[in-house]
Amino acid sequence: MLKTPRGLLAFVLLALLMAGCAPPGIVERIPDDDPGYLLEQARQQPPEQAALSRLEAADILARQGQRTQALKVATEIDDTRLSEDYRLQWAMLLSELGEELDEPWAVIQAGQLIDEVDLPRDAGLLLRTRMGRALAQVDEHRAAAVMLLHVQAQTEREALNDAIWASLSRLDRSELASLREGADELTLGWLRLANLVRESDGDIERLFARLETWRERHSQHPAARRVPAELLALRELRGKEVRHIAVFLPGSGPLTSVAEPIRNGLRTHHLNSVERSGGVRLTFLDTSQGNIDALYEEARNLGAQVVIGPLDKEQVSELESRDRVPLPTLALNYGAGATSQAEGLFQYGLSAEDEARQVARRGREDGHRSSAMLVPDNEWGARVGRAFEREWRDRDGTITNVVAYDPRGSATESTRRVLAGGRPDMLFLLALPSYARQVPPTLDYYNAEDLPIYATSHLYEGRSQPLLDHDLDEVYFLDIPWQIPDAAVGGVEALPYLDSYRELQESADPATFRLMAMGVDAYELARRLPQFQLLPESELFGATGALTPGSDGRIQRRLPWARFEDGVPRPVLSTEIRRSEPLR
């Protein structure tokens, strides 16, 4: 953080005064000016003078220790009214305050100056560093990596290694590949490091053998001189690789239809991964026979190191109420509790609520402020609708109308009611395919054809049906990578675990294919449970999305976006949605 005895603005003004070019009237007021008076004056001044008065007030507030108020004033300044020198002062002050007060969007606001003004070298490097860190905070990891790599190329600062690695390690294969074009040797070295870690597939011995080879070949690289702390921490896992997994799934009862495709995905991927995973052993135990503690005891006696399952929500709820579980466990459902604090328990599933929350985040990031909701009039619709609404309101969005429809009826009347509460910026749609296909044509009929529709994965059956899905054209939705391979950046060849995908996809029923993909990712997550316990920020790019454990062990999924065009899902980059203008 930049510090001077009198603050940034006073320092620069002093330099201008010594050079004989300080703006008249501003320097002599600095020792005793009242920021409140300056802000009051700004309301009556022409735009250029008002912006300068507000900048001076923000600087004085910051020097007086009123940093939060200073940040508020600085973010509201119309910097385009300032001269180039004062725009630089504004950007440096705003980015400093934003970083100190953990307000990344303020830093990003200041960082827009990078592309608009010819910055002095040191100021430009400092602003880019702050911008890179802020972009990482809002999960724009590719942009963050680009920004920080630019700074390191100019400075060779090893202190940036951890931040660079934190962003690079959260990029998928296609995003990493996109950084290769025109890259300098510094960036290429980083990309080779990221790829070797990704290709190690959680095998710690293989990882460190490859890391040593990489360091020998890139001995002058900043990451060779100072290996990122997150990678070094993995040394603690040497000798603790998972070699035996117990799987708790029911062999009979009402959950069998769900358990069977998960079991199929587990077994298929296990056979395809024997060589890569070093011969991991799978043992299946029937949860429909005996209680959960007896199953844990049997698993421990058999030598299992981790557990996948149970699937039953009541059993998961019982586990999450404990202080700890007998073995590190990846449950295949989410408990009923608001949070889980059981040590060693992770929870993973294809949660519709997770998708609804991601839709809400995407909609707000795209600039939409108001949303209508169209959800089924049942317990599922109410539950998923609440998840969307809470996330939306937490981000200061407004809800114009909530319409709960009869899934067995026509969409005509319910879609008309969507518009009854006023014209929203977007529509959140939760619907199965047969109902979802009726919504866009009905909106067209009511002259709302430009209303953006954001939906969960449930509107897509998982197979190409252009004639049927033509009515869904221009609808945005998210789904697991395996379910929309043609919409994956890089196509089918870029999919994770391609051999398992191809084998399972050949005979898959679209209704159960997502559960097979869940089984594949459950296998990979289970192998990494020790890593997740050591490094909670770790991420797995799997068949069902980018998977990261939350603070309570619940696995969070980040899914790719697609949009129907001519009845077929097409890839949508995040920036493409963000550029669309919200309706007024």
Question: Do 203 and 286 fall within a single domain?
Answer: no
- How many structural domains are present in the chain? 3
Here the CATH number for the domain that contains residue 219 is 1.25.40
- Nearest-5° angle of CA 364, CA 366, CA 370? 45
Question: Do 521 and 486 fall within a single domain?
Answer: no
Measure the CA–CA gap between 337 and 193, rounded to whole angstroms.
40
Question: Do 362 and 481 fall within a single domain?
Answer: yes
**pLDDT tens digits for 149-191?**
999 999 999 999 999 999 998 888 778 888 988 899 999 999 9
Place of tokens 């603005």: 9
Residue 396 lies in a domain: yes
Q: Are 541 and 173 in contact (CB under 8 A)?
A: yes
Measure the CA–CA gap between 517 and 505, rounded to whole angstroms.
10
The per-residue pLDDT for 275 is 65
The per-residue pLDDT for 20 is 41
Question: Do 206 and 291 fall within a single domain?
Answer: no
Place of tokens 């001519």: 566
Measure the CA–CA gap between 245 and 524, rounded to whole angstroms.
11
Residue 524 lies in a domain: yes
Residue whose C-alpha is closest to residue 73's, from 45, 49, 46, 53: 53
Bridge partners of residue 375, in order along the sequence: 404
Considering 217, 236, 255, which residue would you say is the last residue of a domain?
Answer: 236
Sign of CA dihedral 193, 194, 198, 199: negative
Question: Do 305 and 261 fall within a single domain?
Answer: yes
Residue 11 lies in a domain: no
Which residues form the domain of 272?
A: 244-349+514-546
Alpha carbon of 474 to those of 432, 454, 455, 561, 584: distances in Å? Answer: 17, 10, 11, 12, 19
What 8-state DSSP symbol labels residue 581?
P
Tokens standing for residue 6: 């009198």
pLDDT tens for each residue of the chain, 584 residues long: 333 333 444 444 444 333 444 444 344 444 447 899 999 999 999 999 999 999 999 999 999 999 999 999 999 999 999 999 999 999 999 999 999 999 999 999 999 999 888 889 999 999 999 999 999 998 889 999 999 999 999 999 999 999 999 999 888 877 888 898 889 999 999 999 998 888 777 778 888 889 999 999 999 999 999 999 988 888 888 777 889 999 999 999 999 999 999 999 999 999 988 766 567 899 999 998 778 999 999 999 999 999 999 999 999 999 999 999 999 999 999 998 878 889 999 999 999 999 999 999 999 988 899 999 999 999 999 999 999 999 999 999 999 999 999 999 899 999 999 998 788 999 999 999 999 999 999 999 999 999 999 999 999 998 889 999 999 999 999 999 998 876 555 677 778 899 999 999 887 788 799 999 999 999 999 999 988 888 877 888 899 999 999 888 999 998 989 999 999 998 886 544 443 433 33
How many other β-carbons are positioned within 10 Å of the β-carbon of residue 312? Answer: 22
Tokens standing for residue 522: 């459950």
Here the CATH number for the domain that contains residue 265 is 3.40.50.2300
Question: Do 167 and 219 fall within a single domain?
Answer: yes
The per-residue pLDDT for 11 is 42
Residue 55 lies in a domain: yes
Q: Are 402 and 384 in contact (CB under 8 A)?
A: no
Considering 202, 236, 270, which residue would you say is the last residue of a domain?
Answer: 236
Q: Identity (one letter) of the amino acid at 527? A: R
Question: Do 532 and 575 fall within a single domain?
Answer: no
What 8-state DSSP symbol labels residue 455?
E
Residue 443 lies in a domain: yes
Q: Which residues contact 348 (CB under 8 A, 6 or more apart)?
A: 330, 331, 332, 518, 521, 522, 525, 547, 554, 555
Question: Do 93 and 196 fall within a single domain?
Answer: yes
The per-residue pLDDT for 487 is 57
Residue 76 lies in a domain: yes
Q: Are 333 and 314 in contact (CB under 8 A)?
A: no
Tokens standing for residue 14: 């002093």
Measure the CA–CA gap between 173 and 124, rounded to whole angstroms.
30
Q: Are 160 and 148 in contact (CB under 8 A)?
A: yes
Question: Do 315 and 368 fall within a single domain?
Answer: no
The per-residue pLDDT for 220 is 93
Tokens standing for residue 407: 């899934």
How many other β-carbons are positioned within 10 Å of the β-carbon of residue 251? Answer: 14
Measure the CA–CA gap between 348 and 102, rounded to whole angstroms.
30
The per-residue pLDDT for 531 is 86
Measure the CA–CA gap between 524 and 531, rounded to whole angstroms.
11
Please state whether beta strands 398-405 and 370-376 pair in parallel, antiparallel, or not at all (unpaired). Answer: parallel
pTM: 0.77
Question: Do 438 and 573 fall within a single domain?
Answer: yes
Q: Are 513 and 521 in contact (CB under 8 A)?
A: no
Helices (H), 347-465: 352-365, 379-394, 412-418, 433-436, 439-445
Measure the CA–CA gap between 476 and 359, rounded to whole angstroms.
10
Measure the CA–CA gap between 374 and 382, rounded to whole angstroms.
11
Please state whether beta strands 476-478 and 453-455 pair in parallel, antiparallel, or not at all (unpaired). Answer: parallel
Residue 551 lies in a domain: no
Tokens standing for residue 511: 């209704």
Considering 179, 205, 236, which residue would you say is the last residue of a domain?
Answer: 236
Question: Do 149 and 171 fall within a single domain?
Answer: yes
Residue 10 lies in a domain: no
Task: Please compute, for residue 229, the number of CA atoms within 13 A of its CA located in the half-sphere on the CB side.
Answer: 9
Question: Do 183 and 280 fall within a single domain?
Answer: no
